[in-house]
Amino acid sequence: MTVNLNIVPFVSVDRMMKLVLAIGIERFLVELAAYIEEDFRRWELFDKTPRVASHSVDGVIELMPTSDGQLYGFKYVNGHPKNTRDGRQTVTAFGVLADVGNGYPMLLSEMTILTALRTAASSAVAAKYLAPEAARCMAIIGNGAQSEFQAIAFKALLGVDRLRLYDIDPAASTKCMKNLAGMGFDIKLCASAQEAVEGAEIITTVTADKRSATILTDNMVGSGVHINAVGGDCPGKTELHRDILLRSDIFVEYPPQTRIEGESQQLDADHPITELWQVMTGKAAGRTDARQITLFDSVGFAIEDFSALRYVRDQLQRTGLYEELDLLADPDEPRDLFGMLLRAEKATGLAVAGS
C-alpha cells in the first residue's frame, strides 16, 4: 500500500461497514480467521502483556498492546454495560497499527465493529480444534451485539446451521433471529438457558453484565460439548458455575490475563489450563475424546486485534475504503518543528505571537 508517509490511512465506521459489505461478511470472517490462526502459530514471536485496565463502578477502559518485532498494534476499548440504557454501545473501540522501525502509525481504524468480527472469528478458530466433529447445533445465551457475528462465524468456518437462542430480554433474541433471517439458519427461540442448551453441541455464552453470574449451572452441561465462553472479560465477571470448569478441559489465549479476567479466575492458581496456540502448533492436545467437555475461556487478547488490524490494512489498497488523515507533523527540516508554525503563519495570515 503506497501512501504519503505523513498521512495515515483511517478506516471510519462508514468505511468499515462498506469494507465488510464489499468483501462479504462470511468471506471477511474466514479470511480474518486465517490471519488470527497465522499469528497464533507464531505466538512466541510477540510481545505479550495483560491489558492495561482502568476500572470504575460503571465499567472499564483498557489498552491492549502487542508487537511481533516489525509491526506494533494497540486497541483502546471500553466496557460499560449500563450504556445501553442511554442509547449507547456497551463496547466501543479503535486501534492503531504502526511500523516498529520508525514508530510511524500505518493505520488508524474503528474497532467497535472490527472487535465483534475478530471475537467471532477467534471463537470459531478455537472451535475448529475443540468442538465435536461435525457439530451443527449451537446455543447462544446472550443475544446482544455479539450474537449475530458469532453465529455467522461458526456457520462460515464450521458449518453450524442450527441455533438455539436465549436472552433474559426476549426482544434481544427476536432481534437476533430477525437479523439472521435468510442466512441459512434453522433458529429456535428458547424460554430459558436450560432449554437453549438441550441438544446443542456447542454452547456460546456472551452476556454483558459486569458481575459474577451463573448463566450455566453444572447440571445443564452434559458430556461431549464445547463451551465458547465469551462474556467473561474482567475481574469479578463470570458466566459459568465453577463446577463446570472442574469437569472441563480449559483452553485460553494468554493465562496471565485469563486467570484474572476469565472464567478461570474462579480456579486455584495452579489449576491446569492449556494455551490455544499450543494446540494449533501441535505442542498440546485439543479435543481427544468424544465425551470430553472442552471450554474456550476467551477474554480477547491483543494479538487477535493485531491480526484484525493487519487484515484490514491488507484490504485497503485494492478497495480504497479509507480516508487520508493528516495526523503526523511534517516540518521541512525534521528538527525544525517550530518552523511549521512559521510556515502556517505565512499561509494563513495568523500570527505565531498572537495579536
Q: Check: CB of residue 106 under 8 Å from CB of residue 327.
A: no
Q: Does 233 participate in catalysis according to the annotation?
A: yes
Catalytic residue among 39, 167, 233, 305: 233
Cell of 9: 490511512
Q: Which residues are paired to 137 by β-bridges? A: 162
| Maximum pairwise Cα distance, the chain | 79
Angle at 126 between CA 32 and CA 276, to 5 degrees: 110
The Cβ of residue 58 has, within 10 Å, a number of other Cβ atoms equal to 12
User: Residue 108 in 3-state DSSP?
Assistant: strand
Q: Which residues are paired to 188 by β-bridges? A: 164
Rounded CA separation 343/355 (Å): 17
Which DSSP string corresponds to 136-191?
A: -EEEEE--STTHHHHHHHHHHHH---EEEEE-SSHHHHHHHHHHTTTSS-EEEE-S
Distances in Å between the Cα of 150 and the Cα atoms of 141, 191, 200, 247, 249 are 11, 20, 15, 25, 22
36-56 burial: b if 16+ Cβ within 10 Å, else e: bbebbeebeebebebbebeee
The catalytic residues are: 233
